Structure formats: C-alpha cells, structure tokens
Amino acid sequence: MRRLVSIAALLLSFGIAPMAVAQSEAYVPALAEIMSAAQWGHIKLWFAGKHANWELASYELRQVRASLEDAATYYHRIPVEYVNATVEPVLAIAAAIEAKDSVRFIKGYNELTAACNACHEGVGRGFIVIQVPTASPFSDQSFAPPKPPQP
C-alpha cells in the first residue's frame, strides 16, 4: 500500500510540476498576434465611427491603443519615434469621439492609419499597408448604435 501511495504521489508530481513551471513563465504574444489584434480593432473602430456608435468607437480605440502599448512594451526594437507617432492621432480620435464629431474622427483615423504605415515602412515591413476599410469582415456585428429601449 505504501508503495502504491508513493507511485501515486510521484505520478501526481509529474502532472503538477509542468503546470507550476508554465504558470510561472509569462506568455509574450508574437508581434504578429499583437498587430493582428490592432488591425482588427482598427477596422472595427472605423465602422463604429462611420455609424456614429461612439460608445463602441471608444471601446475599439482602447483596444487599438492597448495593442500598440503591448507592441512597444514587449518589442523594444520598435523605434520609440514610431510608437510615439501614434499618440497624437489616438488622442485626436478620442477627442472626436468625445465630441461625437465625425469630421474630426475621420481626420484622426487617417492620421493613425498614416502613422501605422510609417512605422511599418520604418521597420522594414513597408509591404504591410493599412488603409481605411472598404467592407466589414464582421458580418455578424452591427456597428449602428443600439436603439434606446422602448417605453
């Protein structure tokens, strides 16, 4: 019986030890994963702003900003001037969203898009060209603001 308990303990330790090691190591997503998340957010941001769904636009802008911050945090080889070039457009978009101003939103969005492309060019990835989306790949999501509840 004692031997059976020892074997069970040994087997259990093999199962738990890898999990303990895995939990202590921080996961760092690949830069391509971070940039893909930023690109999806960039697309959704456009359609939210285009449909004047300012709450969704604000949310998507936070997602894009978080992706850009993650890229700068985890990948120090990205020159700081390219990361900093996105700050003003993000702030401009945030102000446009707050003001519910479609004209300012479009201007800020275009500036953000240009900053993304300048970064891609600057780090030798000029073949990745971002543009204003022409069609939504999100056929399962409405970008119109939610209708207020009927009394």
Q: What's the confidence (pLDDT) of residue 4?
A: 46
- Percent of all residues in the chain with a pLDDT value above 90, rounded to a whole number: 73
Determine if residue 148 is left, alpha or beta; phi over 0 gives left, psi from -120 to 50 gives alpha, anything else beta. Answer: beta
Give the phi and the psi of residue 16 in degrees, each rounded to 5.
-85, -35
pLDDT at 8 over 50: no
In a domain, 140, yes or no: no
How many angstroms separate the CA atoms of 61 and 132, rounded? 15
From the CB of residue 65, how many other CB atoms can be counted at a distance below 10 Å? 19
Residue 14 lies in a domain: no
| Domain at 104, CATH number | 1.20.120.10
Whether 77 is covered by a domain: the verdict is yes
Tell me if 37 is assigned to some domain: yes
Nearest Cα neighbor of 73 from 116, 31, 111 is 31
**Structural domain tally of the chain?**
1
66 in any annotated domain: yes
Give the single-character DSSP code of 130: -
In a domain, 137, yes or no: no
Residue 24 confidence (pLDDT): 59
pTM value is: 0.80
Q: Is the pLDDT reported for residue 36 higher than 70? A: yes
Average pLDDT over residues 48-61: 98
Residue range(s) defining the domain that contains residue 64: 31-122
Is position 5 within any domain? Answer: no
Residue 8 lies in a domain: no
